[in-house]
């Protein structure tokens, strides 16, 4: 593994790929899981993009599908009062808008975006199949 002050690493970072056969590194200090510098040609792809877009699409469909009829459902089927139903819907909507902030803090400070998405998607999948 190349050390931080290794001149061959710096030459690899600064090398022009058209002039030599050396690999071009990202140059921004990015490292892979092993701690090695990241090769520019092997990074930056959107492998998780379809998963993220599908997850967001399902989340938006669920939110708007529920929110449009929730007060009616709480008052007509569950015989909740209007004020109680409105309070419950407002609490639910606030929770829906605040939980992404918690996820953002976890993703930025601790787990990273992919592990955060994978963890909460797994929790969502397990809980949704329990009921």
**Contact 89/67 with Cβ under 8 angstroms?**
yes
My answer on whether 121 and 64 are in the same domain is: yes
Within 8 A by CB and 6+ apart from 53, the residues are none
Q: What does the pLDDT read at residue 113?
A: 87
Full-model pTM:
0.51
**69 compared with 30, residue with greater pLDDT:** 69
Q: What does the pLDDT read at residue 46?
A: 79
Q: What percentage of the chain reaches a pLDDT higher than 70?
A: 83
**Rounded distance, CA 26 to CA 52, Å?**
24
Q: What does the pLDDT read at residue 5?
A: 56
**CA 127 to mean position of chain CA atoms:** 19
My answer on whether 26 and 74 are in the same domain is: no
Question: Hey, how many other C-beta atoms are within 10 angstroms of the C-beta on 37?
Answer: 20
My answer on whether 57 and 39 are in the same domain is: no
My answer on whether 17 and 71 are in the same domain is: no
pLDDT in tens, 46-96: 777 898 899 889 989 999 998 889 999 999 999 999 999 999 999 999 998
Range of the domain at 39: 1-44
My answer on whether 24 and 67 are in the same domain is: no
My answer on whether 78 and 103 are in the same domain is: yes
My answer on whether 39 and 53 are in the same domain is: no
């Amino acid at each position: 593994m190349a050390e931080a002050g290794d001149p061959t690493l710096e030459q690899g970072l600064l090398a022009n790929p058209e002039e030599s056969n050396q690999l071009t590194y990202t140059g921004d200090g990015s490292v892979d899981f092993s701690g090695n510098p990241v090769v520019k040609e092997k990074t930056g792809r959107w492998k998780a993009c379809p998963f993220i877009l599908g997850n967001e699409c399902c989340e938006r469909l669920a939110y708007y599908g529920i929110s449009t009829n929730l007060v009616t459902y709480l008052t007509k089927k569950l015989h909740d009062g209007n004020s109680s139903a409105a309070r419950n819907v407002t609490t639910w909507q606030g929770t829906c808008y605040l939980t992404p902030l918690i996820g953002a803090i976890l993703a930025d400070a601790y787990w990273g975006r992919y592990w955060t998405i994978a963890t909460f998607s797994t929790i969502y999948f397990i809980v949704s199949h329990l009921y």
